[in-house]
Structure 1
């Protein structure tokens, strides 16, 4: 069985503010322009008109905690998994028709205490896993190359492929007060399985706030999704289906950096094992936080 793990966002952004150009000059010196009027009472400091993705380089610490409950042959089972993931995200310019060149580097993964040894041993092997590709205007990362495809597949349950690691924003940038909807479809292939997740997400740019030492635009996101797929696990065919909900709060600094956030992903799934005539109900709750490292 493979599980979708969403990350609450990380990329590198540039703020884009509209600026007025100077008028044509004259032969004789012109008087200096009058200073702008003072802000009215209660008027806020001017912020960029929009925040857009662009070149930058940031280090992140991602903490993911997954709680699983399932009933197998009438016996309830629970499992808790967690890990701290140290990631570097590098976006360079200039952009072309495919987006900005981008690289995600997983420096290391440290399992939480209590993670079962076989899983902990596996994720601890991740060192310098590099995923290269492009970041498009809306924030989707499209991977084109991976330094170790076998390791990436084995860690897909925890890492994903960073496609939806960045908060989704409109093509022309995120503006205070704006609201938008994204319809997404993502197929994940790992360990002999193929699972497709189709989601509808509603986002809004809610407010300017201080976050991680930077003036940041707070994004609020809610969404629903469906999951369907099948595959082989231990030589046994299975089918999976279900639905879930996601909520997220992320922050984009006015200078364009993604400066962290948090999300929760809850799902109710059904796994069918036709060869055994079994149906296994599964509920999962994934909590993720992203913080910027110095």
Structure 2
């Protein structure tokens, strides 16, 4: 049974090296009915200082880094280590919308650096995903709705699953220092080579940012996630379930613009081949870092 287990594990790397597929169609309009709309956090009471919400911005540049480490555990005690690094260079525009209390969101991938186990992913794959554009709608309190890309690719889908990190949810009416609230969100994503659905429950606490040089609010977060997905390898169906914990901090300027963020997560994942009754336990850990690189 071990060869099948190894094949299930190798899927994680093989799928992530896939290039883009299809031509570049017209940018689709966001569909408010698609999964990904968060439950609005209950407005917390109290707080001090000015209320901060997201404000319009044009072509704000960000660098989003993500590192993942996986340890696959096979029968007999053997293990296999895998690592994955992604660095996405993004441009974000939030524009006023005809709909009250809503922004039209455009996120463009200027370039992507992708590394698997210390080796660069094929340039054909990273070049094909360059220029991908996502559209969505968002309220001044955050929460992307109807997030869609203008092309399909495995690498692009990976990046899409991380875009919500750019807009942590805020309470209705804005966030003030000293507030605390809990947000529950469910959305589709591609993670560890599996298309699937993830649900998160995260508690946020708003504090004054440590840096005296910047007027900002620091959103400290901690919570948990559950995830499930399915994909085909040849004629075999593979299933994935995962759960774990996350923590992080986002620094949002008093003018409503994300300045920086970082965080980490740890969890357990199981890859199953139902037709063979085979399972592969996986330990996962990851970290992310976001930095503003100024508008252009």
TM-score under structure 1 normalisation? 0.75
- What are structure 1's unaligned runs of at least 5 residues? 4-46
The alpha-carbon deviation at position 251 of structure 1 amounts to: 0.2
Match of 2:18 in 1: none
Instruction: Report 1:20-169 matches (<5 A).
Output: 49-57=50-58, 58-74=60-76, 75-94=78-97, 96-97=99-100, 99-112=102-115, 114-118=117-121, 122-143=125-146, 145-148=148-151, 150-151=152-153, 153-160=154-161, 162-169=163-170
In 2, the alpha carbon distance for the partners of 1:189 and 1:281 equals 19
3-state SS in 1 of match to 2:169 = coil
Match of 1:277 in 2: 277
Higher Cα radius of gyration: 1
CA change 1:264–1:122 in 2 (3 A) is: same
In 2, the alpha carbon distance for the partners of 1:126 and 1:194 equals 18
- What are structure 2's unaligned runs of at least 5 residues? 1-10, 14-47
3-state SS in 1 of match to 2:142 = coil
The alpha-carbon deviation at position 191 of structure 1 amounts to: 11
CA change 1:119–1:268 in 2 (3 A) is: farther
Q: Is contact 1:199–1:225 with CA below 8 Å preserved after alignment? A: yes
Larger % of helix: which?
2
CA change 1:189–1:59 in 2 (3 A) is: closer
User: Is 1:184 matched with 2:190?
Assistant: no
The alpha-carbon deviation at position 145 of structure 1 amounts to: 4.2
**Alignment length (residue pairs):** 248
Segment drifting more, 129-138 vs 259-268 = 129-138
Instruction: Provide the aligned C-alpha RMSD in A.
Output: 2.8
Provide, for residues 115-167 of structure 1, a one-character-per-residue CA deviation record: whole Å limited to 9, x for no partner: 4455675235321110112122331122454221x22x443234426245311
Q: Is contact 1:273–1:279 with CA below 8 Å preserved after alignment? A: yes
TM-score under structure 2 normalisation? 0.74
Match of 1:38 in 2: none
Q: Is contact 1:185–1:196 with CA below 8 Å preserved after alignment? A: yes
In 2, the alpha carbon distance for the partners of 1:188 and 1:230 equals 12
CA change 1:188–1:233 in 2 (3 A) is: farther
3-state SS in 2 of match to 1:123 = helix
